[in-house]
Structure 1
């Protein structure tokens, strides 16, 4: 490995940390802040949903465009810049409609995540893709964790304005550093002929692991990132404890992302890790609504963190395995668009179940969905082991 390649590998994770810090530092307090501005809960739902809807619509087209031009630096620059500008809008125009516009812009920024991942994994040979994916997701999770830590420490004393300023600063610094990223020269212009790369979306293995990621992301967004905090509040947890639960979740994601990029995880392999972690996610969904003790609920937050760190890394590397380099951005766009559907729909479905029935009913269905993920992935690897030709190739 050349010194030049080592520098590229070191710089991009720093940009990733800054990017996701900019995207998440204000998130834990976005809803209470909007409520303090007298924004209705219905409109807040639209504001939150705008972030996911934008990604759902943009990720596949951006993947096709990235494959067409054969370069990623420009998309990364757009992403970091948009993340900072979105928080500038929040700072200057603190009202519901401007937050809606800002979240649409933040969703566009997150759609550029395709290029971050494809550029970084492109630095590594095929046999090291799981390790590379684990490392870049580790950087992503570290940025989010730092955002949660800063917001938990500062919001009470300085409010949303400072969080938006920190987001802007991180976006600006990320944009500055991204200018120094180096990549091989691609075609540089969009060609409609590149739409042929859309045929990769028919890859059966890509579809399978995209759907598994939809389950994983949807379950986590519906539990650890949303309704588990409501359960904690009903158990009598303070705002500090609720913030601590998010920190434990993300700290677990960071630690287990580090494990997923280790040689031990590579040796264990996705055939063991994917079904096992889906199983633990199902157990989490069963235990959370049944547990009356706050310390136990906090400890359980380690399990969805493990799903973010280990399960998501392995699902991503498996989805991309065997995809030709010239179609990788399109494949990543399809993969991310599918799991964005889970991020958007699962919380809505869960919220309706909680309103109509109970947390126990909703979490039981999420547990069954996770166990389906475990069974399908286990069956897939058993099939792979017992046949020389994969049905999903």
Structure 2
């Protein structure tokens, strides 16, 4: 199997069904909303239950741990049965149960367990991504991924903004239970999601190794893992903790996260035109450097407004690099192997989602929050150097 071959399948010539694509995107909007509505308040809520910074890191990292373990098996299983939609439905079930677990957790340790369940939901994103991209020919993959990233970003933006307000007005449990309610609605709609079934394939170990060892896929996966490390160690874990020290309330935490996600969402729509005008490599390097800078300056902020502006810069950089990397991961891959390739890519970057907050929490407990931010910024800069040297 060549990963550089162009697909000759008939679906390249099938006109885009806008209604079906729109329905899939709306369901995906609910999917991400269910998992992000309580994200801004989660680290501070855990601190209120007595969690150390290390435990906060474990809590945020548990989400990535489940994905690190499950995303590749989900991709392989999805290719094996030639189905994507059942995984989307299973994702809604896990998202709802995880949010309910967060609402009922009596201790920080139980929060970690519940957040791990939500990570199981996110692991099904492998199949959902391939379900959606199956409606597009390979030549439109960057555009398709850009639109998918835009809708995902809008969902996260709306959910985090609303979640902060819900928590401020009705309490943290209300934000968690909102996630359960959204997941229930999404589960009902998921049974009506259209699906273009792929040919069932049984990937052999040698094929799996061959896919994982492709230099271009391996390179973009490692760079993505470094950017995810920094993003989850900062924006989703310890920037909220730092903002709490500055006096932020729950609504402020939602606004702070929303500033990052708004810029990220805008950036997803600019990847294709910027890459066409400037070339993919300059866009990638510049976006990673912007992300690194936005993290390195956090310890110097003494007010929420400039902190939000720097977070917006980081979100813009993250939106550019993650969209470009995801498109590169599946471009040119045989449609019957895309879920496996996407599983490899997402499993590798999930390592960053897990290791980032966990190690940053340990660093923060020993060297302070500033040390955690500097270490994260340094790793993103390493990713920029890798992107600069990549072919």
**TM-score, scaled to structure 2:** 0.87
Within a 5 Å distance, the mapping from 1:211-360 to structure 2 comes to: 211-260=222-271, 263-360=273-370
Other-structure match for 1:105: 117
- For residues 317 and 4 of structure 1, the distance between their equivalents in structure 2, rounded to whole angstroms, comes to 19
Q: How far 1:40 moved relative to its partner?
A: 7.3
Other-structure match for 1:60: 72
Other-structure match for 1:133: 145
Unaligned runs of 5+ in 2: 1-12
Q: How far 1:59 moved relative to its partner?
A: 0.6
Q: Does 1:150 align with 2:159?
A: no
Aligned equivalent of 1:365, options 356, 375, 378? 375
Q: How far 1:37 moved relative to its partner?
A: 5.3
- Flag the 1:141–1:34 CA change in 2: closer, same or farther, 3 A: same
- For residues 371 and 159 of structure 2, the distance between their equivalents in structure 1, rounded to whole angstroms, comes to 32
Q: How far 1:309 moved relative to its partner?
A: 1.6
Judge conservation of contact 2:164–2:250 (CA < 8 Å) in 1: no
- Flag the 1:39–1:329 CA change in 2: closer, same or farther, 3 A: same
Q: How far 1:88 moved relative to its partner?
A: 3.7
Q: How far 1:350 moved relative to its partner?
A: 2.3
- Flag the 1:235–1:88 CA change in 2: closer, same or farther, 3 A: closer
Unaligned runs of 5+ in 1: 385-393
Other-structure match for 1:78: 90
**TM-score, scaled to structure 1:** 0.86
Count of residues in correspondence between the two structures: 378
- For residues 279 and 40 of structure 1, the distance between their equivalents in structure 2, rounded to whole angstroms, comes to 30
- For residues 385 and 59 of structure 2, the distance between their equivalents in structure 1, rounded to whole angstroms, comes to 35
- Flag the 1:162–1:197 CA change in 2: closer, same or farther, 3 A: same
* Secondary structure at the counterpart of residue 301 of structure 1: helix
CA RMSD between the two structures = 2.7
Q: Does 1:377 align with 2:387?
A: yes
- Flag the 1:266–1:17 CA change in 2: closer, same or farther, 3 A: farther
- Flag the 1:219–1:13 CA change in 2: closer, same or farther, 3 A: same
Judge conservation of contact 1:67–1:194 (CA < 8 Å) in 2: no
- Flag the 1:378–1:178 CA change in 2: closer, same or farther, 3 A: same
Q: Does 1:209 align with 2:220?
A: yes
Judge conservation of contact 1:118–1:328 (CA < 8 Å) in 2: yes
- For residues 243 and 112 of structure 2, the distance between their equivalents in structure 1, rounded to whole angstroms, comes to 28
- For residues 312 and 87 of structure 1, the distance between their equivalents in structure 2, rounded to whole angstroms, comes to 26
Other-structure match for 2:7: none
Q: Judge which range, 216-225 or 164-173, deviates more.
A: 164-173
Q: How far 1:235 moved relative to its partner?
A: 4.0
Judge conservation of contact 1:131–1:266 (CA < 8 Å) in 2: no
